[in-house]
Amino acid sequence: DGGITQSPKYLFRKEGQNVTLSCEQNLNHDAMYWYRQDPGQGLRLIYYSQIVNDFQKGDIAEGYSVSREKKESFPLTVTSAQKNPTAFYLCASKPIFSRSMDGYTFGSGTRLTVV
């Protein structure tokens, strides 16, 4: 079955450490996205990529970095510069030329906790 796989589901990090969240999709989607969810807030866009080797900052990119070396993969690194990294992180993808947003597919998320 096609879908998006995020791993791990739960992740603990010590303050001052970088950590990388994995996102893999086998939907042949061109565009991929990273969102962050905090309690009582909607999802906020961190980074997005429409094509391999290209990505753009979203609304809250500070303290994060990404890479897009393969179409299937869009890992997110939470760096020590991110002041409040504890959150639920969601990866998504969609076909780039789809005018409809109905093809937007989300992964099951990674809960990151800084200890």
Partner 1 sequence: DQQVKQNSPSLSVQEGRISILNCDYTNSMFDYFLWYKKYPAEGPTFLISISSIKDKNEDGRFTVFLNKSAKHLSLHIVPSQPGDSAVYFCAASGGAGGTSYGKLTFGQGTILTVHP
Does 106 bind partner 1 (CB under 8 A)? Our answer is: yes
Cα–Cα distance for residue pair 14/17, rounded to 1 Å: 6
Per CB under 8 A, which of residues 36..75 are in contact with partner 1? 40-45, 48, 50, 58
Nearer to partner 1, 80 or 95 (CB): 95
Cα–Cα distance for residue pair 108/114, rounded to 1 Å: 20
DSSP readout, 42-74? -EEEEEEEEETTEEEE-SS-TTEEE--SBTTB-
CA 69 to chain CA centroid, Å, is 15
Among 7, 18, 20, 96, binds partner 1 (CB under 8 A): 96
Question: Would you tell me which residues interact with partner 1 (CB under 8 A)?
Answer: 4, 6, 9, 31, 33, 35, 40-45, 48, 50, 58, 88, 90, 92, 94, 96-97, 99-102, 104, 106-109, 111
